[in-house]
Amino acid sequence: MVTGESSDRPQPVRVFLLDDHEVVRRGVRDLLEAEPDIEVVGEAGTCAQALARVPALRPQVAVLDVRLPDGDGVTVCRELRSRMPQLACLMLTSFDDDDALLDAIMAGAAGYVLKQVKGADLVTAVRTVASGQSMLDPATTTQLMESLRHRDEAAADPALAALTPREREILALIGKGETNRQIGEDLYLAEKTVKNHISRILAKLGVDRRIQAAVIATRLESADPHDGRHPHRSW
Distance CA 79, CA 85 (A): 10
Does residue 158 have a pLDDT over 90? no
**Those residues with Cβ within 8 angstroms of residue 224's Cβ, 6 or more apart along the chain or in another chain:** none
User: Quick one: what percent of the chain has pLDDT higher than 70?
Assistant: 77
Residue range 76-126, pLDDT digits in tens: 998 999 889 899 999 888 766 666 777 777 778 888 888 888 888 899 999
Among 11-25, 78-92, 151-165, the least confident range: 151-165
Distance CA 110, CA 164 (A): 33
pLDDT at 28: 93
Three-class SS state of 71: strand
pLDDT at 146: 64
Higher pLDDT, 219 or 5: 219
pLDDT at 164: 87
Higher pLDDT, 135 or 190: 190
pLDDT at 225: 44
Average pLDDT over the chain, rounded to whole? 81
Residue range 209-220, pLDDT digits in tens: 888 888 778 766
Q: Give the global pTM.
A: 0.62
**Those residues with Cβ within 8 angstroms of residue 129's Cβ, 6 or more apart along the chain or in another chain:** 61, 88, 89, 90, 110, 111, 135
Among 9-18, 132-141, 169-178, the least confident range: 132-141
CA distances to 5, 6, 8, 138, 229 from 2, rounded to whole Å, are 5, 6, 10, 45, 54
Residue range 126-155, pLDDT digits in tens: 999 999 888 775 665 666 666 655 555 544
pLDDT at 92: 85
pLDDT bracket for residue 20 (50, 70, 90): very high
pLDDT at 154: 46
Closest CA to 13 of 53, 40, 45: 40
Does residue 7 have a pLDDT over 60? no
pLDDT at 165: 86
Distance CA 48, CA 132 (A): 26
pLDDT bracket for residue 194 (50, 70, 90): very high
Does residue 2 have a pLDDT over 80? no
Higher pLDDT, 222 or 101: 101
